Every structure is written in structure tokens, then in C-alpha cells.
Amino acid sequence: FIVSRFKFNSSDTMPKPRPFVAANWKCNGTKDSVAKLVTLFNDAKIDFDVECIVGCPFIFINQVKETLTNPKFRISAQNCIPKGGAFTGETSIDMLKDFGLEWVILGHSERRTYYGETSELVATKTQAAIAAGVKVIACIGETLQEREEGRTNAVVIAQLAVIAQKLREEEWKNLVIAYEPVWAIGTGKVATPEQAQEVHAQIREWVSTN
């Protein structure tokens, strides 16, 4: 996905948002492959100001946390629910905090498509995570059919608006919006930088005026 951060103060003296790069591992990896990846991350020489996020599967979080030493990198969970209890197979926000995690990915297109997560649910989880002190990478994006019907902006803004309704202005500093061109995932189609920037521009314009 392609991410955007926001600053609400338009003053020229305000610093620009810090560059942000996130890699979602999805449901991939073995102990050996993760160890090799972490070695590459630890050896990486990153001299410029950028925040690097690795979204690893839950089962590998402890392994990565114990071995990733490069200070440029942070670990993100790939999902969570607001509270613990009788929710077999889930992971709560409090569990993420107990592990010392700063980030969580919410609303990924695969969660929406395969597990029926609605925009309302994504927004509720986003608000709960941020309120608990966990930063959120919130995913939004349109399908191939929606793009071909010319509904990209309407779909993306509708998904974003539900999240915005639940957040206070000061909470946006803990939110990164990840635009996912869902139509370019497994379809053989490729989203160009220009197409992504066009959607980013629409997102930024909407945020600045709402």
C-alpha cells in the first residue's frame, strides 16, 4: 500500500510529516526466512530521516522483537480487536500494548474482502487503538469494478469519512492513511505513481476541508 500522513496546521514553520515506509508480510514467512530478513534489516544503513515499519504475522512478533536491533525499524501487528474476552483466534489492543507494539494495520482490503470487515468496524477499531495509545495504519481503497465505474474518489472518501467521524483532530497525528489500489492486487494490472498520487491528492484535499 501507499501511505499518507497529515498535518493540520498549515503554517510554513511547521515541519512536514516524517517519511514513512511500511511492509506488510501478510500470512507469509518461516522462522528461518524471518531470521534472514531481520539480519538484512539490522545490516541496513539508512542515513535519511524515515520511519520503517514491518507488519509481521502475530506468530513471528516475538522473534522479530527480540532480534530486530536497527533503530530505524518498528514492528506493527496486522490486525486487532478493541478488547479481550471470548473471541477465539483474535488479538486485543491490550495484548499489543503488553508486547510493546506501537503500530497496528487496520482495514486491509483482505480483511474487508475475506472476513467481512465493514468501514464502520474498521473505524471503531481505529478509534479504540488510537485511544489506547497504539498508532494505526488505516487502509482504504477501491476494487477494479469500482475504478472502472469511475467511483474511485467516492469509495475512498466514504471509507475515510467513517474513520474521521470517530477521531478528534489531535488524534490524527497517530494515524497513517494507506491507499490500497485493490484493483492492482492479483489482477495483472499495475497502479502507476501518477494514479496513486491522484488519489492521495483527493484524500489530502478532503482531510484539509473537513
Q: Which residues are catalytic?
A: 108, 180
- List, in order, residues 6 or more apart from 18 with CB less than 8 Å away: 5, 49, 50, 51
All three cell numbers of 108, joined, read: 486491509
Q: Helix, strand, or coil here: 68? A: coil
Q: Which of these, 169, 178, 173, 180, lies nearest to 142 by C-alpha position?
A: 180
> Can you list the pairs that 125-128 forms with residues at least 24 positions away whose Cβ atoms lie under 8 Å?
125/80, 125/81, 125/82, 126/163, 126/166, 126/167, 126/175, 127/163, 127/166, 127/167, 127/171, 128/82, 128/83, 128/93
CA–CA separation, 145 vs 152, rounded Å?
A: 10
Using DSSP's 3-state secondary structure scheme, residue 186 falls into coil
